[in-house]
Amino acid sequence: MNSDKTSKRRNAQIDLKPLVPFAQGANRYCFQHPENKDRCLKVIRPENIKARYNRQSPLKRLLGKARLNDNSQELKAHMQPAIRRLIQAEKESTLWAHLPRFYGSIETSLGHANESELIRCADGTVAPTLESFVRNGELSNQLQKAIKRFEAWLAQTRILTRNLLPHNLVVTDRSGQPELFLVDGLGAPTIPQALALVPGWSDRYIARKLARFHKRMLWEQSNEGLSWKDFQSLR
């Protein structure tokens, strides 16, 4: 009887319509799980997928809309070889050292949502983005060390990501010191992901992503008034 009730609760659709997202990006809304304050539900903004699809060339449209769905891409990203190896080796503490724990996809009143750990600070507030620290000129020595730890973790685990952007990284002090967590942008495009098993390829790919991240951080801190595109071309 109790197991039946538990099953019904697990399968029940979660109603997000009355809720306000605590954050949103170009492609997804982020809600606090109404039944668990320590979990985040990411829901696709379908109108944006349609707009992105319509802006593409006819050739790219042949590839379909699925590759524009960030939730689908995130599900695939958590199946990448580097993550599977860490789970199989029972090194989940290493895996989740800089990634929110991931719980898969669930049904909500706004469509399928990806459910993951909601990263909070020691005082219980939702962890702010690295971008907010950079733009406020708050890159302390402790935070710079946290950035280095995140970079070392990425190189060690060989987990593939897309371009590392400060607004996709959050900073939490829940362990007693600042630590970075990648909350968006996990995974790599199809071809780079397919090459992940080639010896040495992942190392080179991650090194390029980190070099680009360093440049992005310089741009975020610059007062030159240049667009990101122009800043890249000058350096």
**What is the extent of the structural domain holding 100?**
17-234
Residue 235, pLDDT score: 67
Residue 215, pLDDT score: 95
The number of domains in the chain is 1
What distance in Å separates the CA atoms of residue 70 and residue 162, rounded to the nearest whole number? 12
54 in a domain, yes or no?
yes
* Beta bridge mates, 169: 182
- Pick from 6, 30, 209, 210: which is nearest to 119 by CA? 30
Say which DSSP state 67 is in: G
The phi, psi pair for 158, rounded to 5°, reads: 60, 30
5 in a domain, yes or no?
no
142 in a domain, yes or no?
yes
Residue type for 123, please? D
Residue 47, pLDDT score: 78
109 in a domain, yes or no?
yes
* Residues 206 and 153 sit within 8 Å (Cβ to Cβ): no
Task: Provide the CATH number for the domain around residue 222.
Answer: 1.10.510
What distance in Å separates the CA atoms of residue 31 and residue 115, rounded to the nearest whole number? 10
* Residues 196 and 82 sit within 8 Å (Cβ to Cβ): yes
132 in a domain, yes or no?
yes
Q: Is 75 helix (H, G, I), strand (E, B) or coil?
A: helix
Residue 72, pLDDT score: 92
User: Where is 74: in which H helix or E strand?
Assistant: helix 70-77
pLDDT tens digit at each of 235 positions of the chain? 444 443 444 457 899 999 999 999 888 999 999 999 999 999 998 777 777 777 778 777 777 767 778 999 999 999 999 999 999 999 999 999 999 999 999 999 999 999 999 999 999 999 999 999 998 888 999 999 999 999 999 999 999 999 999 999 999 999 999 999 999 999 988 777 778 888 899 999 999 999 999 999 999 998 788 899 888 887 6
Q: Whole-prediction pTM value? A: 0.89
157 in a domain, yes or no?
yes
83 in a domain, yes or no?
yes
8 in a domain, yes or no?
no
Residues in the chain: 235
